[in-house]
A and B are shown apart, each in its own frame.
Chain A
């Protein structure tokens, strides 16, 4: 996936608003990051006309869930 930030700066105003709403949500950082990344991936998919999502979605869920677990453990300590 191309750098999502480039696309956002390119004028995808709707997406920018969605990302801001996710950022403002009352949820842990990792879950918010995960949704943002999945959404941006979907946006790129839409532009490419692709419907492929599974491996990329799972990759991000795996990485960010591990991060979340680590953060939780750190917070517990």
Chain B
């Protein structure tokens, strides 16, 4: 199936535009334009025409769709029509045109919606005339089911997030939805409701006792429903928490090396701080020692100098030897020398002794005093010497601590360089997240188990009541009818459960197999991926050739590849070749990856003997449609449209480029 043309009338900036994709090259289309040129409007126009939605939602303001230029160009009371029309070629050779219109009336303030219209003209068979389809919505849902649209019409930003944010629930929903197993689950729900109603009706045919049974049955059914809701919520929480656990574990695995370095840095930082503490301790000790011993040192120095000076003076005989001036004064007073000779009053000896006493007495007293001080000075000296030993010890410790600080500083700087850009708190946050997620998962598992136990118990009770109802002895035809229907509904319900389980597993298995095959074909690093799998909990895993799970480690390009592979897989499993319209598919990638992905895309969507061609309409900016990408695309000879927003007329102009 392919889109052969898309035309716009008064649809935002596409005031009057037609893109014709018919012809030989329409299977690979590039619509290139800068930001704001109208690429996203093209994508929005396609999904609005087919499904009446903008960005996947039907809650949009219809007046936002009309071309502002047309609003300006009209007068109040005039009618304006917004229209998007898509022609499709169905694989069977039939063609159809889908047209959605919005009619507005111009008012003084802007526009008001008058009515909407959806029209499908389709050929019933090849070459036949076009027939207006009475149920256009149903027709579209048969040919281009809305359930496929999220995987075939999307923007590159979503593509980039496809598997980064996708959890098991998303995968499960998309797989079951694409294979319509979700419709079976709605059938089961309705069947369950009806089965319970029919059982109650059958019970009520049994008189008062039957009424009581019916009431009890209803009560039990309601309780089961309540617990099932709780169990579903708990199961959803288990899935959610398990996803979070896996993501946190994977993320922690990613930064295991970083975490190790961070632990090292933490240890080294502690050692560094310890060494700094030791430096401070030694400095404090030294200060305290200096305060205690400092005065002694200063005094000692002075005394030593003085003693030295006195000794020197004596050696040079500038100073007499030590003598006692008082004793000399006693001799002078007694008038007799120690040798017994009389000291005459005016004699030379008395005069000489008097001279010595006068001239050197004081000096000698000082010398004596110094001599007396010598003892304490020596003891101070000894103390200072002891202090010196203490200070040598302190200095040695200080030296060691400073050497440690220096070495640890170098180590710390190296670690800081290795960890540049990594936040210490990141790991702590992740550990915290992991812990919380594990706790949440355990709590949810416990709740789910408890609710399952309750449901099992209630189902036993329900079975008992059903048996009682079935054994009620009533003669009425109505009772028999109700019982027959109730039993039959129950059997049908049991079958639906079996089929649901079987199909869910089968479809999951098929999707997993196809995804594995498709991704391996797409990935340019050959033999890099060993297996892509979807487990029974719908969790996707990508295992590399060394046996490691690497889903969370895939590069942006590889992730986009996986997303494309998933889209194509869903189409394969559902058995359709749906046109793939992607806005900015490779905008976020580097040039090399852009080239690789482009190469893969043009190869993998080309027709093969087993399958028809997959139409690819890519809305690309100039930075995506580079000369190199153009060269790669040239192999498939694409159809290229250049679009440009003309500010003067507020309208997109399109130019079909020659190949």
Which residues of A are interface residues toward B (Cβ below 8 A)? Answer: 7, 10-15, 17-18, 21-22, 25, 27, 30-32, 34-35, 38-39, 42-43, 46-49, 53-54, 57-58, 61-62, 64-66, 68-69
Contact = CB atoms under 8 A, between A and B. Distances in A.
B503 A18 contact: yes
Interface of B: 137-138, 141-143, 145, 178-181, 183-184, 186-187, 190-191, 193-194, 198, 481, 484-485, 487-489, 491-492, 495-496, 498-499, 502-503, 506-507, 574-576
A42 B186 contact: yes
Residue from the set A14, A32, A42, A54 with the largest chain B CB neighbour count within 10 Å: A14
Contact of B491 (A15, A31, A47): A31
- Which 5 residue pairs across A and B have the least CB separation, nearest first? A14-B180, A65-B488, A13-B575, A10-B142, A14-B179
Given A25-B498, A66-B484, A58 B179 contact: no
Contacts of B498: 25
A35 B488 contact: no
A35 B492 contact: yes
A25 B497 CA distance: 11
Contacts of A61: 194, 198, 485, 488-489, 492
A33 to B, nearest CB: 9
A32 B495 CA distance: 8
B187 A64 contact: no
A66 B477 CA distance: 13
Nearest to A49: B137
Contacts, number: 106
B142 A7 contact: yes
Interface SS, B side: helix
Residue from the set B481, B492, B507, B575 with the largest chain A CB neighbour count within 10 Å: B492
A20 B183 CA distance: 15
A42 B187 contact: yes
Contacts of A39: 183-184, 187
A22 B499 contact: yes
Contact of A58 (B485, B487, B499, B503): B485
Nearest to B496: A35
B191 A57 contact: yes
Residue from the set B141, B180, B502 with the largest chain A CB neighbour count within 10 Å: B180
B619 to A, nearest CB: 27
Contacts of B142: 7, 10-12, 47
Contacts of A18: 179-181, 183-184, 499, 503
Given A21-B502, A54-B194, A31 B492 contact: yes
Contacts of B506: 21
A27 to B, nearest CB: 5
Contacts of B502: 21
B190 A65 contact: no
Given A21-B502, A53-B190, A15 B496 contact: no
A17 B176 CA distance: 12
B138 A47 contact: yes
A46 B183 contact: yes
Nearest to B194: A57
Contact of B574 (A14, A35, A38): A14
A14 B178 contact: yes
A34 B484 CA distance: 14
Nearest to B178: A14
A46 B496 CA distance: 18
Nearest to B1: A11
Contacts of B489: 61, 65
11 contacts: A11-B575, A11-B576, A14-B183, A18-B183, A30-B488, A35-B187, A38-B191, A42-B186, A42-B190, A47-B141, A49-B137
Contact of B187 (A11, A38, A66): A38
Contacts of A30: 488
Contacts of A31: 488, 491-492, 495
Given A18-B181, A35-B496, 6 more contacts: A10-B143, A15-B183, A42-B187, A54-B193, A58-B485, A66-B484
Contacts of A53: 190, 194
